[in-house]
Structure 1
Amino acid sequence: MTTETGEVRTAPSTAPGIMSGTFLWITIGACALVFLGAFESLAVTTVMPVVSDDLGGERLYALAFAGPLATGVIGMVAAGNWADRRGPTAPLYTSVIAFVAGLLIAGLAPSMEALVAGRFVQGLGSGAMMVALYVVVARVYPQDKHPAIFAAFAAAWVVPSLIGPTIAAVVTDLWSWHWVFLGVVVLALAALLMVVPALRGLSGGGDATAPWALGRLGWSVLAAVAVLALNLVGDIPGVGPVLAAVAVVVALVAVRPLVPTGTLRARRGLPSVILVRGLVAGAFFGTQVYVPYLLTDRYALSPTLAGLALTGGALAWSAASTVQGRMGTRLSNALALRIGTALVLIGIALVLAIAAFRWDALVIAVAWVVAGSGMGLMSPRSSVLTLSLSTPVNQGFNSAAMTVADSFGSAMVLAITGTLFAALATTADPFTAVFALTGVIAAVAVILAPRVAVVRTREEAGA
């Protein structure tokens, strides 16, 4: 049945839970792939100073992080188009192979240039892998199981933030940084083997007669280049802000064909789901990057203590994801999205107040628990909404749009806040300025959140 807001509700499925019966191994394998992608991202952040020192790669340090984010956009679009035409099986296999190849190149890299090249390939595979997994969810799990599996995905993203940096540091100390990359290779292949049985028979379901969207692939390359440039040009003295502004315009033009029509105009329904998701991701991660910086710079806390604020947010994210998964259809997707975006705004507003009025540092931990709870609530439900508003022939495109929104939104906001922080570092309070900007972005998301629901006419409701 369809509600007046356009949300589809189905009778409870008689299928077993996601951790039992036929879903057990596909759930474990898919969550393991998500976990490994997140772990590698956080682990590299921890060991990159050691890598840079070992390989003499200070000049390419920033590119080692910006590169995977940029190439990931290309992988997302390619995998989405491929899945719409042929189903998710081949894109998933290929993306995992690319992810593993990138790990091998980086882990065996004799120079920083080779490591960055490996990171490019790794990002391409990681971005494609997430899109393929979303399409697998749409094809394998009944709709009423989607909140639970996306909650599991969210938890798989959060757990590495708790253990990833520590494991990476221990591996580096005991052996070398090379094994932070190479050690994941075997685990990724093992995870892929777990999902193979469930992938049999999923090669169809798309529109094999549809042409390859070469135009979208071209736009994704342009968007990736613009995002990459935006991460690199902001610090150029004098012309940095101008070049950054040009990169923003180019990136926005390029991203339009990669998301549903009307996304940048906040058209009601799926376009607004995608836009709100991108705005919230940008606001949250744009703030999170500077939270430990604020605590270590202004409050003179150790990096370990500063990191506890982020740990609290990660735990809250995981807990909220679990709660919404258990609530299922008792909590509507649209309402969960609205509550989640509001909580993210409240958390960022508290961080802004702490920076502006120099409140006690302990309040930051509370603020980030609130913001993390909002992400745990809205992120899985925006995924559920995206799939519920998709059809078998556009699940790949819409799943790609969702992940593009995450990466694109985060990259854009991080680059802009980086430029802003550098510009104000010696003349004003850069922390207050950054948190004010991310707060405005979060507020826009809250204003637009009600537009995720599709309002149906009386005639349509009675049809």
Structure 2
Amino acid sequence: MDAITQQVKQTKRPFVLISVMLAMFMGAVEATIVATAMPAIAADLGGFSSYSWVFSSYLLMNAVTVLIYGKLADIFGRKPVMTFGILVFLLGSVLCGFAESMTFLIVARFIQGFGAGAILPIATTIVGDIYTKEERAQIQGYLASVWGISAISGPAIGGLLVEFVTWRFVFWVNIPLGILSLLGIWFFLHEHIDKKERKIDYKGSILLTVSLSVIMYVLVEGGVRFEWVSLPVLGLFTFSFLLLFIFYFHEKRIQEPMVPFTLWKEKSILIANVVSLTTGVILMGLTSFIPTFVQGVMGYSPIIAGFTLTTMSIGWPIASTVAGRLLLKIGYRVTALSGGVSLVIGTTILVTLHSHSSPIMVAVGSFFVGVGMGLTTTSFIVSIQSTVNWEQRGIATASNVFMRNLGTTIGAALLGGILNSKIASYIHNSSVRGSENYTVDSTNLLLDVEKRSDLPQSIVEMLQEGLANGLHVVYIVVFSFALLSFVLLFLFPRDKRV
């Protein structure tokens, strides 16, 4: 305890916090900045059919490595694992910028995602190490603000780089940020690592990586490359669950497991992780489908659509900052429940939307969901980090990040599948003349102003109604997950106070 106290005193906390926030910004801005540049990238490199894999490859590797990095940070310390993650991320960024084909870019994104898996969980764990229970609650607000800033600045930075320089700098802009973050962590973070011999669970790592990679691959490609009800999907799911079954019994048997399942016996961690899964689905429901609704159904511009989604990124850090104070006054459970109420309010607004709704209403619903995410995630992280000791804080934090990542991936597959099936059914049953010439993919025509103007008005209305009908069902499902999250939060332990 004395050694850890001494390490915290030696550590220059403000500089470490800035370094950690720089690393998190580098990872967070990557999603929005690349999305903005993708049309220019596709036009330059070709290979439009592989468009989605530029995102999927990054997200897949990010998701499957989170738990492993968390455990390694508990064994070797935060500094070397964080350094490795940032260096791999920067290598991937350099390679992305030099890509001359879509295939090369996708491979480079795999490398980038492999490094990114270390950044968020280890950055959050470092904060848990160097700040006290009381301070953590407030610092989480600063970390959450990184996501808000990246969501707002990412598209602007990406647009400027594409317009005035080249899309390659969208990836290279990470390099100075990463270098500054590395310098700050190495010079100002001081750790005391227990030198006792620790065994690395290589077999468990391989089983976990392969099984999760297969699951993520199916969730990404299901309904696109493969029909959901098909032999390939059934075979891959069976294979992955078999590996997870073997992994579970392997972890129960060894002395130092990669994923200690005893953590999940702690009720606060169990509830926090399960709710993180359900809120991950809600998060995907917003980020993926709000812009589509505002542009395709309501007929507004991409700028307006972006604004309605940005309010979530504003609400999240504000709520995280407020949560820091609430945790001290009313505890984890009531703060998290307040977030659950906000999620229900936000998704209720989304369920009531129709083609003549105001974008302001969409923005308000989005804001409430952001507030809900800020209150719940801050409660979860601070609660988890206060429940475990240093040697388990890395994997405990990573498990929560992983469950939210898994939720967003499941949400993309589940909600995307529901939307496509509802639109297809609506078009198939339509009595509008010429509707038989249109498919689910025709919905894309609504998002292009020029192509939309070339369509007959009756077809535009049919596609709009089909899209509105599908998205309405999607938001009913999202509302159901918000309601489920709220109910589960009642199971959060009462005595967990900061």
What's the TM-score once normalised by structure 1's chain length? 0.87
Give how far 1:134 is off: 2.4
With over 3 angstroms needed to count, the CA separation of the structure-2 counterparts of 1:245 and 1:162, relative to structure 1, is farther
Asked if structure 2 preserves the Cα contact closer than 8 Å seen for 1:259 and 1:271, the reply is no
Picking from 115, 122, 125, the partner of 1:132 is 122
Q: Structure 2 regions of 5+ residues with no counterpart?
A: 249-257, 427-468
Per-residue deviation, residues 96-119 of structure 1 (Å, max 9, x unmatched)? 001101101111111111111111
* Percent of matched pairs sharing the same residue: 21
Query: For residue 441 of structure 1, what is the aligned residue in structure 2?
Result: 481
- 1:240 correspondence with 2:238: no
Distance 1:206 1:218 in 2: 27
Displacement, 1:47? 0.7
Which SS does the other structure have where 2:424 is aligned?
A: coil
On the 8 A contact 1:348/1:367 being kept in 2, the answer is: yes
Rounded to whole Å, the distance in 2 between the matches of 1:350 and 1:51 is 36
**Displacement of 1:144 after TM fit?**
1.3
Q: Does 1:196 align with 2:186?
A: yes
Conservation of the 8 A alpha-carbon contact between 1:234 and 1:244: no
Structure 1 gaps, min length 5: 1-13, 457-463
Which segment is superposed worse, 445-454 or 285-294? 445-454
- Alpha-carbon separation, structure 1, partners of 2:234 and 2:340: 27
> Once the 2 structures are TM-superposed, how far is the Cα of residue 198 of structure 1 from its aligned partner?
3.2
Letter in 2 for 1:117: V
**8 Å CA contact retained: 1:86, 1:207:** no
Deviation digits for residues 207-246 of structure 1 (CA, Å, limit 9, x no counterpart): 6424325314422332122112211121347x33556677
Q: 1:276 to 1:222 in 2, by over 3 A?
A: same
CA RMSD, Structure 1 to Structure 2 (Å):
2.8
1:148 equivalent to 2:105? Answer no
- Higher Cα Rg, which structure: 2
CA distance in 1, matches of 2:263, 2:413: 21
Counterpart residue number, 1:3 = none
Query: Is 1:119–2:113 an aligned residue pair?
Result: no
Note if contact 2:279-2:481 (Cα within 8 Å) is conserved in structure 1: yes
Instruction: State how far apart, in whole Å, the 2-side matches of 1:126 and 1:336 are.
Output: 30
Q: Give SS of 2:220's match.
A: helix
Whole-Å separation in 2 of the counterparts to 1:334 and 1:316: 20
**Which residue number in structure 2 is paired with residue 323 of structure 1?**
322
Contact 1:348 1:435 in 2 (8 A): yes
The equivalent of 2:446 in structure 1 is none
**Following TM superposition, by how much is the alpha carbon of 1:63 offset from its aligned partner in structure 2, in angstroms?**
0.9
CA distance in 1, matches of 2:241, 2:493: 24
Q: Which residue of 2 aligns with 1:350?
A: 349
CA contact (8 A) 1:260 1:401 kept: no
Alpha-carbon distance between aligned partners in 2 of 1:440 and 1:325, rounded to the nearest angstrom? 28
Asked if the contact 1:310–1:368 (Cα under 8 Å) also holds between the matched residues in 2, the reply is yes
Deviation at 1:135, TM superposition (A): 2.4
Cα deviation, 1:167-224, whole Å, max 9, x if unaligned, reads 101011111100010121122111221122332334x158642432531442233212
Tell me which moved more, 217-226 or 24-33.
217-226
Q: Which residues in structure 2 correspond to 1:37-52 (within 5 Å)?
A: 37-52=27-42
Task: Sort the Cα spacing of 1:294 and 1:82 in 2 relative to 1 into closer, same or farther, 3 A.
Answer: same
Residues 1:450 and 1:328: Cα distance change in structure 2 (over 3 Å) = closer
Counterparts of 2:325 and 2:218 in 1: how far apart (Å)? Answer: 42
Which moved further from structure 2: 365-374 or 218-227?
218-227
Residues in 2 aligned to 1:37 and 1:305: alpha-carbon distance in whole angstroms? 25
1:409 matched residue in structure 2: 407
Secondary structure, aligned partner of 2:191:
coil
